[in-house]
């Protein structure tokens, strides 16, 4: 087995451009084993293994900054990372297989070969939404609200009818659109337009919450401002949307 590769050899073998490898070196993501006085880079077996990890993480949607923090944190272990990749890929495969089954069943039902009710058409999308929420926020939500509340919320999502699911999706988009327009036009949190947004957000929450209280409503919108993940979601197109929603709910929640 070859012990060292030039940048061109590694580029050809991995399917990554030499320009990309030089960029990875510049940002400290993948340093070569050695660099000659003439500037030629050479990579050893350890660098090859790290490049494979980088490509795995890229395939899974991680950005370069995140990958660098993972690879170079204390205690990083390639075997553990590979096992994590495998679990992630199996989960992706499960989701894709579920999508394939849904498409096949829909085609068969349209041909009259089988029956498929409206609820079944949306099962895979609702399951994926619940799964993503659990992965991103599940641990915190369960710690804050308890397993019973979170499980009840998940059941409400999974039991949504086609019409309810469409309304849930439409509401989410409508709230963001109105917030963006509100920030651009400078609406006041205590104005009627902001009150309408707060009411829509309440309707959206009640589609998944077991029980609504104004205090909980104010609490979750406060988290939208304090937690950068939520703030990034609401402020994606227009800075200040999360803050406007919080202030509107603070004033109008009842």
For residue range 138-189, what is the model confidence (pLDDT) as tens digits?
A: 777 677 767 777 777 778 877 777 788 889 889 999 999 999 999 999 999 9
Q: What is the pLDDT of residue 124?
A: 66
- For residue 11, what are the contacts with CB-CB under 8 A and spacing of at least 6? 17, 18, 20, 21
Model pLDDT, residue 90: 80
Which CATH number is 244's domain given?
1.10.490.50
Range list of H helices, 15-77? 18-26, 45-59, 64-71
3-state secondary structure 178-208: HHHHHHHHCCCCCCHHHHHHHHHHHHHHHCC
Same domain, 151 and 206: yes
- Report d(CA 74, CA 176) in Å as an integer: 39
Q: Do 147 and 201 have their domain in common? A: yes
pLDDT tens for residues 209-225?
Answer: 888 999 999 999 998 99
Residue 84 dihedral angles phi and psi, to the nearest 5°: -65, -40
129 domain residue, yes or no: no
Q: Which residue has the tokens 């009818």?
A: 161
Mean pLDDT of 118-131: 67
H-helix or E-strand spanning residue 103: helix 78-110
**Residues 31-57: pLDDT tens digits?**
999 999 999 999 999 999 999 999 998
pLDDT score recorded for residue 52:
94
Q: Is residue 230, in this structure, part of any structural domain at all?
A: yes
**Token duo for residue 251:** 């004033």
Domain range for residue 170?
Answer: 142-252
Give the span between the Cα atoms of 86 and 78, in whole angstroms: 12
pLDDT at 20 over 90: yes
- Report the mean per-residue pLDDT for the chain: 86
Q: Are residues 147 and 248 in the same domain?
A: yes
Q: What is the pTM of this model?
A: 0.50
151 lies in the same domain as 247? yes
* Total domains, the chain: 3
């Amino acid at each position: 087995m070859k012990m060292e590769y030039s940048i061109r050899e590694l580029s050809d073998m991995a399917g990554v451009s030499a320009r990309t490898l030089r960029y990875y070196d510049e940002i400290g993501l993948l340093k070569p084993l050695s660099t000659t006085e003439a500037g030629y880079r050479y990579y050893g077996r350890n660098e090859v293994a790290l490049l494979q990890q980088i490509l795995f993480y890229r395939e899974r949607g991680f950005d370069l900054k995140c990958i660098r923090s993972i690879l170079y944190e204390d205690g990083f272990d390639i075997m553990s990372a590979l096992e994590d990749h495998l679990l992630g890929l199996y989960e992706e495969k499960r989701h894709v297989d579920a999508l394939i089954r849904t498409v096949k069943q829909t085609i068969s039902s349209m041909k009259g070969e089988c029956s498929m009710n409206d609820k079944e058409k949306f099962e895979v999308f609702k399951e994926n939404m619940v799964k993503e929420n659990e992965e991103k926020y599940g641990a915190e939500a369960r710690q804050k609200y308890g397993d019973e509340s979170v499980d009840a919320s998940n059941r409400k999502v999974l039991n949504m009818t086609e019409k309810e699911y469409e309304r849930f999706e439409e509401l989410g988009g409508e709230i963001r659109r109105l917030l963006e327009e509100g920030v651009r036009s400078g609406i006041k949190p205590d104005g009627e337009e902001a009150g309408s947004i707060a009411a829509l957000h309440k309707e959206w929450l009640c589609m998944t919450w077991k029980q609504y209280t104004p205090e909980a409503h104010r609490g979750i919108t406060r988290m939208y401002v304090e937690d950068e993940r939520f703030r990034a979601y609401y402020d994606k197109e227009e800075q200040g949307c999360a803050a406007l929603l919080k202030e509107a709910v603070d004033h109008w929640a009842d």
